[in-house]
């Protein structure tokens, strides 16, 4: 009986998502991975293809609702690039949380909407390294590149300074960002 209810619930959710997609509503409700790319990127490309020939001001925006603890930086940057390259405006929404790589995806929106109880999170890049000493050195260099990319993006999209980010990294602390800090550092355009 439980399996039947799960299948029925899944089917209903699929129908709801398809119906919402007609209004250009997309949900990112998972850890960021290659699966996320396959669920989000083609939809944004499809809408842009449908809008070919329309002036940008005449395009109905895409509404990307984000609830994510983060995940793969590489996959996340593809989503950021897709949003930035979208001629059709992509509005990003966080009503729950956008953490780690979810933060730059939120910041990539052409307009950004934040819920009163939402949480954002910044932290130093996390990962594991093993292998030979040279392999670990190369991986460390790549982590430095990705951290710089992450930090530079946040600084470019908000009023947060690199000094603030460095302070959190030096203290090895996660920076949980609520409404007041998000407002203070100009992380969103409109309160939901």
Three-class secondary structure assignment of the chain = CHHHHHHHHHHHHHHHHHHHHHCCEEEECCCECHHHHHHHHHHHHHHHHHCCCCCHHHCCCEEEEECECCECHHHHHHHHHHHHHCCCCEEEEECCEEECCHHHHHHCCCEEEECCCCEEEECCCCCCCCCCHHHHHHHHHHHHHHHHHHHHHHHHHCCCCHHHHHHHHHCCCCEEECHHHHHHCCCCCEEC
Full domain range(s) for residue 112: 2-191
Q: What is this structure's pTM?
A: 0.89
- 39: domain CATH number is 3.90.226.10
Please write the tens of the pLDDT for every residue from 83-103: 999 999 999 999 999 999 999
Please write the tens of the pLDDT for every residue from 58-72: 999 999 999 999 999
Number of structural domains in the chain: 1
């Amino acid at each position: 009986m439980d399996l039947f209810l799960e299948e029925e619930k899944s089917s209903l959710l699929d129908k709801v998502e398809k119906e919402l997609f007609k209004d250009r509503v997309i949900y990112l409700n998972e850890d960021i991975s290659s699966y996320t790319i396959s669920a989000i990127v083609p939809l944004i490309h499809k809408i842009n293809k449908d809008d070919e020939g329309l002036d940008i001001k005449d395009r109905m925006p895409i509404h990307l609702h984000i609830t994510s603890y983060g995940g793969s930086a590489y996959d996340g940057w593809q989503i950021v690039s897709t949003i930035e390259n979208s001629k059709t405006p992509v509005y990003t929404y966080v009503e729950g949380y956008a953490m780690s790589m979810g933060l730059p995806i939120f910041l990539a929106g052409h307009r950004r909407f934040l819920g009163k109880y939402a949480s954002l999170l910044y932290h130093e890049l996390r990962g594991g390294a093993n292998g030979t000493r040279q392999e670990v050195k190369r991986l460390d260099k790549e982590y430095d590149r990705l951290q710089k990319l992450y930090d530079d993006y946040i600084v470019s999209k908000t009023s947060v300074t690199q000094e603030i980010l460095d302070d959190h990294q030096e203290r090895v602390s996660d920076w949980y960002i609520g409404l007041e800090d998000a407002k203070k550092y100009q992380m969103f355009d409109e309160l939901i």
